[in-house]
Amino acid sequence: MGAVVVEPGSSTLVLGKEKVLDRASMHLANALLGNPDSATGLEVLLGGLKLRFVTGSAVAVTGAEGLVTLNGNELPLNKAVRVPPGAVLEFGPALFGIRYYLAVQGGLSAQGEAPQGKALRAGAALKFGRPHGYGFPDVNHPARRALDPERPVVVRISRGPQATNFDAGTWLRLTSEPWILSPKSDRVGARLAGRPLDGAAASLDAATESGQPQPRISGSVLLPPSGLPVVALAGHPGTAESPVIAVVRDEDLDLIGQARPGQMVHLLG
57 CB-side CA count, 13 A: 31
The two beta strands, 153-159 and 264-268, are: parallel
Q: Is the pLDDT of residue 240 over 90?
A: no
Residues 8 and 11: their CA atoms lie apart, in Å, by 7
The pLDDT of residue 130 is 80
CB 9 within 8 A of CB 51: no
pLDDT bin (cut points 50, 70, 90) of residue 50 is very high
How many helices (H) and strands (E) the chain has is answered by 4, 18
Q: Mean per-residue pLDDT for 222-228?
A: 93
Strand partners, 188: none
Question: What pTM was computed for the model?
Answer: 0.90
Please compute the mean of the pLDDT values over residues 212-231 and round it to a whole number: 87
pLDDT at 133: 65
DSSP letter assigned to residue 201:
H
Torsion angle in degrees (nearest 10) through CA of 241, 245, 246, 247: 10
pLDDT at 218 over 50: yes
- Residue 209: band (very low, low, confident or very high) from pLDDT cuts 50, 70, 90: very low
For residue 205, what pLDDT is reported? 55
DSSP label of 252: G
Mean per-residue pLDDT for 78-96?
96
pLDDT tens for each residue of 167-187: 999 999 999 999 999 999 999
pLDDT of residue 242: 87
- Taking alpha carbons only, the member of 119, 112, 148, 141 closest to residue 29 is 141
Residue 127 reports pLDDT greater than 50: yes
**How confident is residue 110, by pLDDT bands cut at 50, 70 and 90?**
low
The pLDDT, as a whole number, for residue 113 is 61
Judge contact between 118 and 87, C-beta under 8 A: no
- Could you read off the pLDDT of 245-261 as tens digits, one per residue? 999 999 999 999 999 99
CB of 260 closer than 8 Å to CB of 225: no
pLDDT at 214 over 70: no
* Residues 101, 26 contacting (CB under 8 angstroms): yes
Predicted pLDDT at 52? 97
| Mean pLDDT, residues 92-109 taken together | 94
Torsion angle defined by CA atoms of residues 14, 15, 16 and 18, in that order, rounded to the nearest 10 degrees: 170
Q: How does pLDDT run across 8-26, given as a tens digit for each residue?
A: 999 999 998 889 999 999 9
pLDDT at 175: 96
Dihedral (Cα; 169, 171, 176, 182), 10-degree rounding: 120
Question: What is the mean pLDDT of the segment spanning 130-142?
Answer: 74
CA angle 230, 222, 45 (to 5 degrees): 30
DSSP 150-207: TS-EEEEEEE-TTGGGS-HHHHHHHHHS-EEE-TT--SSEEEEESSPPTTHHHHHHHH
Check pLDDT > 90 for residue 1.
Answer: no
Q: What's the pLDDT score for residue 145?
A: 79
